[in-house]
Amino acid sequence: MLIVTVRRPGPLRWLAYSYGAGLPAAHREWVLHDVTARTWQLRHLLRAVVQLLPLLVVIYLLLPGPVWVRASAVLGGALIGLFYSLAYMYESAEHRAMKAGYPRGTAARTREDGDAEGRAAREQRYAERWRRDP
């Protein structure tokens, strides 16, 4: 049996990774874990917030006007940024896995394989409820 050690990147490398930088080969397995873990969508949102935060702070500090106008602009920008991040979440995860050296489709396949039992249970419940013979 092959045992694979997953090495997490340090805070600075993770920060660079969250902005799109590739990680060294030693972190290859961690990248796949990052985009396929049960919490991969929350991880993606955290990276999106980290990417948006500096820009939103600058907008808030440099935009003239009352506080409520600046706060509204920041909130609107955050919502739009998170919307687009969510719209491209699957593609982003796949791209990160490809940058780590995995073939296209590995992240989606790994997520599907990890949820095989849950998917089978959902399909069985669906069949029992909706596919009854008349």
On whether the CB atoms of residues 39 and 49 are closer than 8 A, the answer is no
Confirm whether 4 is domain-assigned. no
The tokens describing 131, both together, are 């596919």
Separation between Cα atoms, residue 78 and residue 12, nearest integer Å: 23
Tell me the pLDDT tens digit for each residue of 73-130: 999 999 999 999 999 999 999 999 999 999 999 999 999 887 777 778 888 888 888 8
Confirm whether 111 is domain-assigned. no
Confirm whether 117 is domain-assigned. no
Confirm whether 7 is domain-assigned. no
Confirm whether 127 is domain-assigned. no
| Domain interval for residue 74 | 26-100
Number of domains in the chain: 1
Q: Which residue has the tokens 């609107």?
A: 76
Would the CA dihedral through 105, 49, 42, 37 be positive or negative? positive
